[in-house]
Structure 1
Amino acid sequence: MRRIGGRDIFAAMLIALLAGAIFTSPPLQALQGLSLDILTALRAKLAGERRDPATSPVVVVAIDGETYDTPPFKGSPTQTWTRELGRVLGSITEGGAKVIGYDVIFPSSIEQSEIPFGEAPLGARMKGFDRDYLIALRQLSDNGKLVLGEILSHDHPERPYRAQQLAVRTNIRALNVHTDADDVIRRMPLSFSIDGKPVPAMAVELAARALGAKPEIAPSGATELSGYAIPSAVPNTLTLNFRGLGRDVPTFSFADLRACVEKGDRDFFRRAFDGKIVLLGSVLNFDDRKLTSMRLSGGYDGTPGARCALPAPERAAQRARSAVAGVFVHATVIRNLIERDAVTELAFPARSIVTVAFALVIACAACMLAPGGALMAWLGLTAAYAAIAVGAFVHALALPLAEPALASLAAIAVMIGYRFVLADRDERFLRQSFAFYLAPEVIGTMVASGKMPALGGEMRNVTMFFSDLSGFSSIAETMTPGELVTLMNEYLSAMTDIIEAHGGYVDKYIGDSIVAMFGAPADDPAHARNAVRAALKCHERLAELNASHPAFAGHGLSHRIGLNSGEAVVGNIGSRRRFNYTVMSDTVNVASRLEGANKYYATAIMASETTMAQTGGTFAWRELDAIRVQGRGEAVRVFEPLAEQGAESDAQTKVAAAYAEGLACWRARNFATAAEAFEKVANIDPASSMFAKRARALATNPPPPEWTPVNTLEGK
């Protein structure tokens, strides 16, 4: 996972802000409607809300296909249905209906027909045909039980014919709907301005009469009905809550009700309509179909109600449709008002904040993760947020859904572009620069730590590692070029793998020599310990290669390793046109000299006192001597690592104790005693054997009083 800095956070915030502003801007306002559609579909799929139609406060009397196929309506113009309408409406009212609303408009009467019929127009011969119907309308209207519908329009208004208007007087309300730019109905108007005064819409008027209250404007500007403050994201509208997808509204066929009147079954009307709000509307496959928020989930034209007189017609199983009959839109408004569960949408500021916040979370994820990981994070977080949004929508709160999802997806794309162009430029450079010099995990650690090597050079505390094969020149003379290359490739590969596995960086190969450093370019506080471990492992690996690898057979290769820790300049050093990542300092020179000093003590690994001190108590050591290497006046105490602390063998413990005794006597000028101590283990330790000879020589020819126990080495 990539670390992010202040610049990245600022970039993520800016990207999220821009993405949120774009996807909640007015040109993309359709996304708000899309969110409602998706939430409606997800709620239906996941929550599966099914409400008992019997509890519905509103029912629909449907002028449906059955009506058109049933006498006396079959083959008759709708203007001739008025007498039957009056009879059915009277029975519904007697059954206890609270109020009846018309979602159909009869703009003309059969009495107005100009169709020739004999010597006079048909209308002249039908005078008085609507008399009983108009009387029924007047009675229902005067009792507050009836509201006719109309369509308000400057160009093509639709109103009931004049006689009906006179019969119901002022009991006419608008059926107009609120259609979004994509021709989808998601909200419904609450009122209309007529002659400068607000007049409730049809559905609001019916709900108000059922509740015995009038719509009022609260001080907040919201419309209230019987104490219910109607939420309005768009002023003077109600956001529809299609909780039951239309299946929660009982629907009765007008043809069956007309037959029920003929049958005289008053009990049926009482059971079906007592205490209900009744909507009369067309439910045909080709007439007055509306796209709503149910367009993705599919909606239903109600649930067939109980039958009274006619047998139920054979029909295909009811199925969900993208468009529903308009009368069910008005029925939904009534249910929302009566049950107080209209959808509450977030206002523009809150919607923008949610969108920006979600985009910011995803932008930060895209900043920390690889593109594939960021996309998976987007999928997971979007699914989690969608689940939260659906849970809120179950309680009629609509959180933005499409806007955050799309804004965050855009934020991912922009953030990936930002990282490629700006943020990860240095990382890519480093990965490319060190790809052939460092192990991938070391590069990853270096990048993740956020501590990159400064281009041009910087001071670092490092441990230098120098190794060289002993007597390799004479061995090489006995080999063919092919054998030599094979041997060197195997040796250098094995040693390099160990160095890199311990966090080291191979600076260069010089023939059979390896120059490496620990602690740069990747920052490593334990660089001294890792360098010593690598040296011990390299020594073990060379013994394994000598014993088992065909290329090493018969050569008995051995190497010397020098280790030294201290401050060094590391970085890209060279000419303007050609440079290498390398290291320079006295720390490097001392490590090189310690590698060569091994031959004076017949040891394989020699480390400075600085390196030994920086490893703490990790390893078992023995001090070899204090030496003065060529080119350096100050003496250096040198040590040999034996093994991990507690893992040294009995032989190593014995040798180290005897050697320490001899070295102490040597420094105290007790040369004879020192020789005796060294000779105890001289047969198993070449370093003790060599020191014993030196001690014997000084015991025979004592040094001058100014002698110091420092071995000055004359070669490299």
Structure 2
Amino acid sequence: MRRIGRRDIVAAILIALLAGAVVTSPPFQTLQGLSLDVLTALRGKLVGDHRDPATSPVVVVAIDGETYDTPPFQGSPTLTWTREIARVLGSIADGGAKVIGFDVIFPSSIERSEIPFGDAPLGARLKGFDRDYLIALRKLSSDGKLVLGEVLSSDHPDRAQQLAVGNNVRGLNVYTDTDHVIRRMPLSFPVGDMRASAMAVELATRALGAKPQTAPSGVTALSGYTIPSAVPNTLTLNFRGLGRDVPTYSFADLHACVEKNDRDFFRRAFGGKIVVLGTILNVDDRKITSMRLSGGYDGTPAARCALPAPATTEQKARSDIAGVFVHANAVRNLIERDAVTELGFPLRSILTIVFAAIVACAACVLAPGGALIAWFGLTAVYAAVAVGAFVHALALPLTEPALASLAALAMMIGYRFVLADRDERFLRRSFAFYLAPEVIDTMVASGKMPALGGEMRNVTMFFSDLSGFSSIAETMTPGELVTLMNEYLSAMTDIIESHGGYVDKYIGDSIVAMFGAPADDPAHARHAVHAALKCHAKLAELNAGSAAFAGRGLSHRIGLNSGEAVVGNIGSRRRFNYTVMSDTVNVASRLEGANKYYGTAIMASEMTVAQTGNTFTWRELDAIKVIGRGEAIKVFEPLAEKGTESAGQTKVAAAYAEGLACWRAREFAKAADAFGRMAEMDPASALFGKRATALATNPPGSDWTPVNILEGK
């Protein structure tokens, strides 16, 4: 995970502002409507939110395909249906309907037909044909139970019908977004110097017995309900039941019910209801609404009265619905106070920008793949929250934050590639040829890069050298030598790098490595000792199993020392190398060479032992002075990880510790005896046994100190 700096935060904010401003700008206005469509689909799919059609305050009377196929309507133009419509309307009103709305427009009358029919026009011969229909319209309108619909600036009802209903004509116009989708309904229309309510508002007004009140701010309230309007003078439709929550009666069945004189059915079906009369056909008056993604339904077939149900009654979701259900849904939203509340432009923009900023910050911290996964996760969580809010009729912006955050993600990745990660890429290229990839990753992730020119770091140095290799190399051909060295150095380097070490250089058969730089590693001493033990074991494997090592019997010496050192790119202005310099390096080199005095393979300073804690089992070898250093240091040999040492190692270490204690107490005879017990199996004990025996024979002066001064390197 990458660290985020102040510059990155500023960049994330600016990118989020840019993405949010673009996505919420007017050219992308359709995204607001798309959010409603997606939320409607997700709510219908995830929540369902179905309601019992019987509880609906609105019902639809449908002039449907069944009506056109049923006598007496079969084969007859709708202009000739007026008498039958009047009879059905009268029965509906007698059944207790609160108000009836006409979503059917008869722009002309058969009585006005001038088509010749014998000696006179057809209209003259049918004079009085619409009398019962007009009387029914007048009676219902006088009782306040009828609202006739018209499309403003388009089709108008016949003049006789308008006179019959008086002022009870209202607009059926809908509000269409720029993508030709109906998501909102107008609340009122200008008529001269006045404003007249839309059909749906007028029906709700009469059912509630209250008139809409419009404040100077433009907000409209109806019976104490403040109608939410993201777009002025509109209501945002809430298709909670996807159309299936509106009972739908076939006009043909109701006509047959009138013939049957079943008044009880009309009371059960229409008592206290708002009735909307309209057409439901497959090709006529179909509307695309915010149910276009989820699919909507043309109501739910209601109980039948007289005619048997059609053979095919199964409904399928469609991307469009009959226009009458748009008005029915608007009425229900008003009655149940369930219109959708949309956030205004300022809040939508703020929410979009905040979400984009969160994703931009994630893209700044994570790798591109991880950032994309984070975007998916955050978007899914936000979508779940938005759907939960939409269940309660609150529409949070959905597509705008999703697209703005995706754009911010792409821009942030581009920003990192061009600017923010430029130094990281430089370091990766610089170290690629002489540093293990996992070490580079750790170094970059830690955020602590080595300063060019050098810096002080606490490190553990690792020096190794093959014993007597020069004489062995003389017996080998150049090809054999190269093969052997490549296999040996590769095996040792793999172990060093797998423990977080960095190979500084190869000097012939020698390896110089350090732990704790360039990647910061608080456990560098422990990792260095682990690597030394693994290297020693690996060489034994190579001697036993590699063809290149067969019969060579190679052994090596390893020196370890921990302390402060200068690490960095050091060299000339034209050529430099990442390396290390300090007394810590020199001591480690001397300890590697000191192994040959004691017959050991690994020797570590007391500084390294102190930094490994209680991880390993050690034996103290001696206190020595090396060339170039005035102070004596105690040196140790790692035997194994704590708890894994063998019984033989434990026995040798105990005898050696006893002998060393006697040696330092000037009890040389006892020391010689202790060392002598293990001399045959332990070169270090054999060395000390000879020294103790010599001093027991010729005791040293009073100025003697138990420190071994090494003369060679």
Q: Offset of 1:649 from its aligned partner?
A: 4.5
Following superposition of structure 1 onto structure 2, how do residues 187-266 of structure 1 map, counting pairs within 5 Å? Answer: 187-217=184-214, 221-266=218-263
Structure 1 match to 2:43: 43
Q: Which residue of 2 aligns with 1:166?
A: 163
Supply the distance in 1 between the matched residues of 2:97 and 2:553 (Cα, whole angstroms).
Answer: 109
Equivalent residue for 2:357?
360
In the alignment, structure 2 segments of 5+ residues that lack a partner are none
Whether contact under 8 Å (2:503, 2:514) holds in the other structure is yes
Partner in structure 1 of residue 498 of structure 2? 501
Matching of residue 104 in structure 1 with residue 113 in structure 2: no
Contact 2:218 2:233 in 1 (8 A): no
Q: CA deviation at 1:659?
A: 4.3
- State the shift of 1:35 in Å: 1.3
Secondary structure of 2:380's aligned partner:
helix
Given the superposition, is the C-alpha separation of residues 474 and 172 from structure 1 closer, same or farther in structure 2, using an over 3 Å criterion?
Answer: same
| Cα pair distance change 1:121/1:579, threshold 3 Å | same
Alignment partner, residue 614 of structure 1: 611
Moved more, 239-248 or 118-127: 118-127
What's the CA shift for 1:662?
4.9
Does residue 280 of structure 1 match 2:284?
no
Worse overlay, 389-398 or 178-187: 389-398
2:574 counterpart of 1:557: no
> Residues of 2 paired with 1:708 and 1:256: CA distance?
121
8 Å CA contact retained: 2:285, 2:323 = yes
Residue 398 of structure 1 is matched in structure 2 by 395
1:478 matched to which residue of 2?
A: 475
Cα distance in structure 2, aligned partners of 1:85 and 1:656 = 113
Counterpart-to-counterpart distance in 2, 1:561 and 1:152: 97
Structure-2 separation of matches of 1:543 and 1:247: 81
> How far apart are 1:447 and its partner, in Å?
2.4
2:523 matches 1:523? no
CA distance change for structure 1 residues 477 and 269 in 2, over 3 Å: closer, same or farther? same
**TM-score normalized by the length of structure 2:** 0.92
> What is the aligned-residue identity percentage?
82
1:135 CA drift (Å): 2.3
- Structure 1, residues 68-89: CA drift from partner, whole Å, max 9, x if none? 3444444444333333322222
Alignment equivalent of 2:440, drawn from 421, 443, 453: 443
The residue type equivalent to 1:478 in the other structure is: T
Q: 1:573 maps to what in 2?
A: 570
Letter in 2 for 1:106: F
Distance 2:245 2:666 in 1: 109
Amino acid at match of 1:628: K
Structure 2 match to 1:86: 86
Aligned with 2:569: secondary structure? strand
Q: Summarize the Cα distance change of 1:300–1:623 in structure 2 as closer, same or farther, 3 Å threshold.
A: closer
| Separation in structure 2 between the aligned mates of residue 272 and residue 659 of structure 1, nearest angstrom | 106
Give 3-state SS (helix, strand or coil) of 1:364's partner. helix
Offset at 1:141?
1.1
In structure 2, the residue corresponding to 1:378 is in which secondary structure? helix
Match of 1:56 in 2: 56
- Matched residue SS, 1:294: coil
Instruction: Choose which of 622, 638, 655 in structure 1 pairs with 2:635.
Output: 638
**CA apart distance, 1:552:** 2.2
> Which residue does 1:26 correspond to in 2?
26
Q: Trace 1:237-386 onto structure 2 (pairs within 5 A).
A: 237-315=234-312, 317-386=314-383
Deviations 1:31-81 (A, max 9, x none): 111111112122222223333322222222222233334444444443333
Counterpart Cα distance in 1 of 2:674 and 2:88:
127
Structure 1: how far apart are the matches of 2:647 and 2:308? 105
User: What SS does structure 2 have at the residue aligned with 1:607?
Assistant: strand
Contact 2:186 2:235 in 1 (8 A): yes
Distance 1:655 1:46, change over 3 A: closer
In structure 2, what is the Cα distance between the partners aligned to 1:133 and 1:649? 112
Alpha-carbon distance in 1 for matches of 2:609, 2:79: 109
Alignment partners' CA distance in 2, 1:169 and 1:672: 134
Question: Which amino acid counterpart does residue 499 of structure 1 have in structure 2?
Answer: I
1:318 is aligned with what amino acid? Q
**Counterpart-to-counterpart distance in 2, 1:663 and 1:77:** 122
Which amino acid letter does the alignment assign opposite residue 381 of structure 2?
A: A
For 2:671 and 2:157, the matched residues in 1 are separated by: 128
Is residue 12 of structure 2 the alignment partner of residue 12 of structure 1?
A: yes
Q: Post-superposition shift, 1:463? A: 0.9
The SS at the match of 2:291 is helix
Alpha-carbon distance in 2 for matches of 1:291, 1:665: 101
What are structure 1's unaligned runs of at least 5 residues?
none
> What letter is aligned with 1:85?
I
SS in 1 for 2:711: coil
Shift of 1:693: 3.7
* Cα 1:254–1:586 shift into 2, 3 Å: same
Q: Structure 1 residues 50 and 659, CA, compared in 2 at 3 Å: closer, same or farther? A: closer
Q: Matched residue of 1:176: which SS?
A: coil
Match of 1:506, SS state, is strand
Range with bigger deviation, 649-658 or 186-195? 649-658
Deviates more, 1:656-665 or 1:240-249: 656-665
Read off the aligned partner of 1:370 and give its amino acid letter: A
Distance 2:398 2:345 in 1: 14
Distance change >3 Å, CA 309–CA 436, structure 1 → 2: same
Would you say how many aligned residue pairs link Structure 1 and Structure 2?
713
DSSP-derived class of the 1:376 partner: helix
Per-residue CA deviation, residues 527-558 of structure 1 (Å, 9 max, x unaligned), is 12221222223223323332333332222111
1:340 partner amino acid: R
Q: How does 1:391-470 map to 2 (within 5 A)?
A: 391-470=388-467
Cα deviations across residues 375-395 of structure 1 (Å, max 9, x unaligned)?
333333333332332232222
Deviation at 1:322, TM superposition (A): 1.4
